[in-house]
Structure 1
Amino acid sequence: MDTGEIYTNKLTKGNRTYFFDIKKSEKGDLYLKVSESKKTESGYEHHRLMIFDEDLKDFFEALKKSLKKFKELKEPKDGKTYSVEKIRETHKQAYLPWTEEDDNKLELLFCEGKKAKELAEIFGRNIGAINSRIKKLELKDKYGK
């Protein structure tokens, strides 16, 4: 075992083996070494990537962002041109069912003269959802607004 090796984790998939090694440099700095070993007809092919401590956080964030995008691109298209998860980044309550309490609060605030834009912020939903709910509850007809 390499004297600088502190931890290792191995993952084998088919003819590829991945190693995730935490090592210590001669100066005592920690770094992550990711290696791929692939069996070929002529032996083994090796690839290595070293990520140093000062870059690890940024590397992790970039990897996380790339994996999220990978997942989005890989998911089968079901005719939707939107992602509920993506919409909920800006509208926390998007596509969640309305409760009786929500309806009562919406009716009260509507009667107070709140506009759809303000109601959207209050309820964590988009303006279209607010207008749809106002229509469904017939608030404009009920209150002549």
Structure 2
Amino acid sequence: MDNNELFTDKVTKGNRTYFFDVKRSENGSLYLSVSESKRTDDGFEKYNILIFEEDIKDFKKAFNRAIKKLEKLTDPESERKSYTLDDIREQHPQAYRPWSTEDDEKLEALFCEGKTVKELANIFERKEGAITSRIKKLELREKYS
């Protein structure tokens, strides 16, 4: 490994090898380099993509969604509904997490501003049902009707 290469891993399948390298650029920022090397009759074909540090989270989310879809398409048994916490948190990152006092106060303030349940669900990254339940628990409709 050279000085800017912090981690490397590879997967070899048939005539293809995939490299996953975490590197540091000259300006100090981190990035992921994903490379494919394919043996051909004329030598090797090489392809490379770089995913920069600021894009990693979005790339990971999209990659994981694509992998899940691929798994569903290649395994008909997986088509049955599965509602794992990870699946739910892809759409609602705060789902089933405890509400903090600050969350309750913010919910109350936004409720008083007239935000809809759908808007509140987006703001709090929770399911609409969770917002409705919390509004009921805090008796916000009774307080502000």
TM-score (norm 2): 0.54
Q: Does 1:85 align with 2:82?
A: yes
Q: Sequence identity of aligned pairs in percent?
A: 48
Deviation beyond 6 Å, 4+ runs, structure 1: 87-90
Cα deviation digits, residues 57-103 of structure 1 (max 9, x gap): 0000000001111111111379xxx622159978xxxxxxxxxxxxx
Q: Distance in 2 between matches of 1:24 and 1:42?
A: 32
CA distance, structure 2, for counterparts of residue 87 and residue 17 of structure 1: 33
Rounded Cα–Cα distance in structure 2 between residues aligned with 1:35 and 1:87: 32
Q: What code does the residue aligned with 1:61 have?
A: K
- Superposed CA deviations along residues 1-48 of structure 1, whole A, max 9, x for unmatched, are 433111100111110001000000000000000000000000000000
User: Counterpart amino acid of 2:32?
Assistant: L
The 5 A counterparts of 1:1-145 are: 1-76=1-76, 83-85=80-82
Distance in 2, matches of 1:87 and 1:15, equals 36
CA distance, structure 1, for counterparts of residue 64 and residue 76 of structure 2 = 20
Gaps of 5+ in 1: 91-120, 122-145
Unpaired segments ≥5 residues, structure 2 = 89-128, 130-145
Structure number having the greater helix percentage:
2
Change (3 A) 1:87 1:51: closer
Superposition RMSD in Å: 2.5
C-alpha separation in 2, matches of 1:17 and 1:3: 23
Corresponding letter in the other structure for 2:63: L
Q: Secondary structure at the match of 1:48?
A: strand
Larger-gyration structure (1/2): 1
C-alpha distance in 2, partners of 1:25/1:87? 38
Give the TM-score normalised by structure 1. Answer: 0.54
Residues of 1 paired with 2:23 and 2:84: CA distance? 41
How many positions carry a matched residue from both structures?
88
- Matched position secondary structure for 2:60: helix
